[in-house]
A and B are shown apart, each in its own frame.
Chain A
Amino acid sequence: MDAALRELSYAQAIQEAMAIAMDMDDRVFLMGEDIGVYGGAFQVTGDLVERYGADRVIDTPISELGGAGVAVGAAVTGMRPIFEFQFSDFATLGMEQIVNQAAKMRFMLGGEVSVPVVMRFPAGSGTGAAAQHSQSLEAWLGHVPGLKVIQPATPHDAKGMLLAAVADPDPVMIFEHKLLYKMKGHVPEGHYTVPIGKAEIRREGRDLTIVATSIMVQKALDAAAALEGEGIDIEVVDLRTIRPLDRQTVIDSVKKTSRLLCVYEAVKTLGIGAEVSALVAESEAFDYLDAPIVRLGGAETPIPYNPDLEKATVPQVPDIIAAARDLVKGVR
């Protein structure tokens, strides 16, 4: 098979990135619940424990707060931990160490330390796991200065952004949508990085900018393809990083298309779409707008168990198609 066309799943891409990081740097190690022989709840660490040993692929007790703190302490004293929260919902148990310690330690100590810790959060709905195992909490962490928060949307970016995160001197939080783990895509061999803080234009278009995050990027692309036949030409911006935000790419795109639709899975109110809308409203792109800004986000409800209700909680492709069509045709 041609190496240039090599495809991996999103989960395999992350696993390959972690292996490369451990090969390149003895300081890199993995910590988390059931990441050893079990292979991780979503098989992301897989057989890494067999290849790198239990001293570098460390099963922790079910202690998210303590485990996150151990990772922070190891990071400030010279190691490069990658800590897996089994589900992003469990960030709630580790918030003290993430928000009060990891994010602030360098600042509080006047720059005397850095905190090069990477934390991974399997996130999102769609697995029938109900309200406590399906949330999208990235905006919570995106609100905290000192953290960097990323949401890779493709296998290529999952690998490249994780390698960028490991090399980063500051704490990087990676939100990985669980439904993306099986997504296949082109992943180059060997070491490469995808920069943190840079959005990517996934599809160029003239009529409407969709700014999407994580799994919503693919849904936005599917919607854009469906609307092509109606003569609607959509630009899709994959935000990739929510802190620090790539404001310029969003502003430039909206100046070109004059319409903005934000699509994200997290609860709509006070979410990333509000921030993106505001940054456009505050920028020179405001004068270019031909229609109100529209947000499509998660419903104002916990994630339900029933599969039909669960699907109805978060934006789906038909929702995006309808909203985009209305925006471009001036219905809104």
Chain B
Amino acid sequence: MAGASKAVVDSRANLPFVYRQYSPEQLREVLHKMYLIRRFEEGAEECYMRGLIHGTMHLSIGQEASAMGVCMPLAADDQITSTHRGHGHCIAKGAEVSRMFAEFFGKTTGYCKGRGGSMHIADVAKGNLGANGIVAGGIPIAVGAALSSKMMKTGKVVVSFFGDGANNEGAFHEALNMAAIWKLPVIFVCENNGYGMSTSTARSTAVKNIAERAAAYSMPGVIVNGNILSEVAEASFKAVERARAGEGPTLIESKTYRHRGHSKSDRNRYRTKEEIEDWMENRDPITLFETELRDFGFIDDQGIQAIRDAVAREIADGIEFAKASPAPEIAALQDYVYTEQA
């Protein structure tokens, strides 16, 4: 996203980062996308409950500011790798919800033609190299994409999203080390939602803050409140500038919370109802951003309602598109295992 003009910036000099850096139109679009992520996941969950979608899914409801804030400073051809909890990243990087719903419904119009589903959702044309079912699996791949950027001199920056669970995988440590020794244009974004499935970071991780692990690889480690959009976007903006300048990687720890369980099998026996309600009622990232936008005069109630209505239409249309789309032919079972050659 390109920034706001200088005169406009001066009048907002005391506001948080995003209100100085982006135009009101851009910020309203960000709110639109955060709602789109939330309603997409609620819509997917409802379709799952009604038996329209099979398998499982990992919802990021409550983490929307993290996905959006990280992606705001990225250029269209910058790339990301994502996680099993990756619907928000996909939408934040520019995906259409209709094709995402189609993928969840297993249809040929889906981003992966029905072969990947929720856990492998991708949008290569928009720079999303894919969600990943293996915790930390995407981190070395992001480093490889950043190596391509450096070798091919494309100027692309690569973001690797992962959760707190990934920071105890060997792949995390090997990848961060290589990115640092080769000064690659990659940003490691740890979305710490407090739990790797059921195990809290306090029980699983020797350091208090995952960002502290950056010191082991001589890169900046930044902690942000992942539920405050401006904080996330500001950290991402600085990391993108650093990467683009050839100064190497950054590790950002975005502290956030998932309102829903780990997956559809979660009985929420490892955290209290009070804890969940506290995050939902007092620290919801969409509520926080929307309130700021309204308080700072970037949007009024009518504008908010217009966004909510537009999102509701997009979700309904997306589900209809998915339902109406064709399923793959059984005869096409082995397509895409290997590259088709003439």
Contacts and interface: CB of A to CB of B under 8 A. Distances in A.
A107 B335 CA distance: 8
Contacts of A145: 337
Interface in A69-83: 69-79, 81
A213 interface: no
Given A55-B151, A107-B115, A169-B339, A70 B122 contact: no
B147 interface: yes
A146 B337 contact: yes
B174 A72 contact: no
B145 A76 contact: yes
Given A96-B137, A111-B335, A71 B144 contact: yes
B88 interface: no
A68 interface: yes
Interface stretch (A43-51, A58-66, A132-140, A177-185): A58-66
B282 interface: no
A72 B112 contact: no
A109 B116 contact: yes
A79 B120 contact: no
Given A111-B336, A112-B112, A65 B120 contact: no
Interface in B297-337: 335-337
Contacts of A27: 152
Contacts of A3: none
Contact of B171 (A69, A107, A110, A169): A69
A97 B134 CA distance: 10
Contact of A110 (B113, B143, B177, B338): B113
A63 B81 CA distance: 20
B130 A69 contact: no
Interface stretch (A34-42, A98-106, A202-210, A256-264): A98-106
Given A78-B148, A110-B110, A100 B178 contact: no
A16 interface: no
Most-contacted residue by chain B among A74, A100, A101, A109 (CB, 10 A): A109
B174 A101 contact: no
A110 B137 contact: no
A170 B338 contact: yes
A110 B332 CA distance: 11
A66 B177 contact: yes
Contacts of A101: 132, 134, 137, 141
A32 interface: no
A159 to B, nearest CB: 22
B248 interface: no
B175 interface: yes
Contacts of B335: 111
Interface string B147-169: 11101100000000000000000
A61 B179 CA distance: 11
B222 to A, nearest CB: 22
A159 B221 CA distance: 46
B86 interface: no
A74 B137 contact: no
A67 interface: yes
A96 B114 CA distance: 23
Contact of A79 (B142, B152, B336): B152
A146 B337 CA distance: 5
B44 interface: no
A29 interface: yes
Contacts of B177: 61, 63, 66
Interface string B110-140: 1111111000101011000110111001011
A108 B340 CA distance: 15
Nearest to A148: B338
A113 interface: yes
A171 to B, nearest CB: 10
A113 B124 contact: yes
23 contacts: A65-B171, A65-B174, A66-B173, A66-B175, A67-B140, A69-B139, A69-B140, A69-B143, A69-B144, A70-B140, A72-B141, A74-B145, A76-B145, A77-B145, A79-B151, A96-B137, A105-B130, A107-B337, A109-B111, A109-B122, A110-B114, A112-B112, A113-B124
